[in-house]
Amino acid sequence: MDYRKLGQDITELVGKKENIARLTHCATRLRFELHDISKAETEKLKALPDVITVVNNGGQYQVVVGNEVQQVYRVITQQMGSATRSADSKSDSGKNNGPKQKQSWISRFISVISTTFTPVIPAIIGAGMIKAILAVLVLTGLVTTESQNYYILNTIADAAFYFMPILLAYGASIKFETSPIMAMTVAGVLLHPGWSALMTEGKDVFFIGVPVRLTDYAGSVLPIIIVVWLMSYIERFADRVSPSMIKFFTKPMIVLLITAPLALVAIGPFGTYLNDLVAMGAEAINARASWLIPLLMGTLQPFLIVTGTAWAMTPIATSQLTKNGYEMINGPGMLASNIAQGGATLAVALKTKNKKLKQLAASSGFTAVLGITEPSLYGVTLKLKKPLIAAMIGGGVAGIYAGLTGLVRYAFVSPGLAALPAFIGSNPMNIVHAIVTCLIAFIVTFALTCIIGFEDPVDDEEEGNTNVNDDKTLSSQPVQDNTPDTKSAAATNANVLNQNEIHSLMIASPMQGELVHLDRVPDDVFSLGLLGKGAAIIPVKGELYAPIAGEVTAFMDSKHAVKLNGYNGEEILIHIGVDTVNLKGRHFDSSIKVGDQVQQGDLLISFDIDAIKAEGYEVITPIIIANSDRFPDIKLEKQRSVEVGATIMHLS
């Protein structure tokens, strides 16, 4: 995957970097908050080859890109200049430039929770996995609970949960556009050993005559979020009233002097009360109908993910984990739902005759049963609908079992087969119930998907196209052409091809060099066939010629890539080198432009091989059949040295 190109495309299509108010990411999604949602070009974003789908819910504009999200996130934040907009990036009035989209209070709440928790997820998942490993070590007798090894590992695992307010202060500061360091400092006040000492003494505490409720804030969630929200206003006030000459000293002093006492005296106890109230409500439901919450979570989890509301229960779950050492709000139902999602998708992989869908369903189904369901949900079940219904039924049935047996999760991890150790704890039967929950979810969903079926998409737009090519034929992937449509002769002739006839087309070598398989290209976008089938040439002479007769339909300003639409329906993308877009046209020369008609053998681009290599770039050149789905059989000639005009591929 070309992360740089994808990041640039996404930034452009969400309305350019100026339209991005805030950006975070989770396991598979870029989570944007945009100044003006109308500037985002959703359909074009969905059409990008490496974008699974786009979701606009929960106060966020979410671009789902799969497991490569972190690399794409880094590219976009580099383009923005910073991962988030800090308080210093606001105008003097403390307000953001640009219109704000109106949101319901539910959307605002979910947006706050999502943005606040997203940066914290790696820490709590890492801590949760250590807890899970520790549980396995204890279960197998390799470590005892009285040993120093256990004590040290348990301390490492507990740290993220104990200091949760400090971690959340960072995420909340991003959401409320205030100083992260000041927010984390106020959180440190809530967790200071001096405060713990006052609680241990048990004496009445007063601050300037006002009674202070002694509350343990370790692992708390809502108090610090409310505190940081208030601090964002206090910081703006301090910025306005502080003289510019001494603002460096007075602004942080005012923020701490006002925020910290308010946090200890009023906001913290109020937030704790809200936190406890919500937790007691969930526990009351669980006490009277233990099956209800896992049933709802197991059934509705896909809906919660799609609508962006899956974050709503996270504060309760983390609070339960911190206080009780286990939680029953998220984990059991999510385990049932994730395994069911994987079962439905793997059933699709087994039954479909569409090669592309089979490949996608097999990989995303395996990922789903491990605990990451977005590729499965957005790429397969949501599109096919019936498998999604089967997954919701299977997840609900397994959720009932999980609830009736009292299944709990002992560590914060994404529930799935890879995280089953997180269900090992003080109750030895808990892991057994977790395994049975997985079996019920998978078997019920898999069987239902096979029984009710689904509408299998026709492979390559032609029924019966089930060719299995030899290992000389490169892997096929769906292709999306994002260049502007043209009413060219090439496009017209392509449309009149008789789909019931087999046409054999020969593609000529566009350059002199060594013909190699596409997997030799050190870029996953090309080597994995994500843009289509093709070949590659390692050039020995810096000249690129037209491999077919047709029209230039795309030509990069950097002159390193060109796309031709042939008169027989073929679409050829040629990309000189890897990451050579960064050269911005240096060492390339061409006079062609979009719309030019060319003949096979016409010189398109000249380039300096030695100069490109000297700047650290590969010159291996992919030649891609951009509409590979139109040609069921694409064969590559034997790898060898080739001259310009020699046949390198055959298209049927």
Q: Which residues are designated catalytic?
A: 26
* Residue carrying structure tokens 């996995």: 129
Both tokens of 606, joined, read 């000249």
Residue 625: name the closest of 552, 523, 533, 525 by CA. Answer: 533
CB-based contact 153:130 (threshold 8 Å): yes
What span, in angstroms and rounded, lies between the C-alpha atoms of 522 and 501?
36
User: One-letter amino acid identity for 287?
Assistant: A
DSSP, res 381: I
For 54, 116, 171, 188, 250, the CA distances from 113, given in Å and listed in that order, are 20, 5, 9, 20, 31
What span, in angstroms and rounded, lies between the C-alpha atoms of 80 and 101?
21
* Residue carrying structure tokens 């737009």: 461
* Residue carrying structure tokens 């030649």: 623
- Phi and psi based region of residue 57 (left: phi greater than 0; alpha: psi -120 to 50; beta: remaining): beta
User: One-letter amino acid identity for 277?
Assistant: L
Phi, psi of 266 (to 5 degrees): -125, -60
Residue 50: name the closest of 91, 99, 10 by CA. Answer: 10
175 burial level (CB within 10 Å; 0-12, 13-18, 19+): buried
What span, in angstroms and rounded, lies between the C-alpha atoms of 186 and 169?
8
According to the 3-state scheme, what is the secondary structure of 209-250? CEEECCCCCCCCCHHHHHHHHHHHHHHHHHHHHCCCCCHHHH
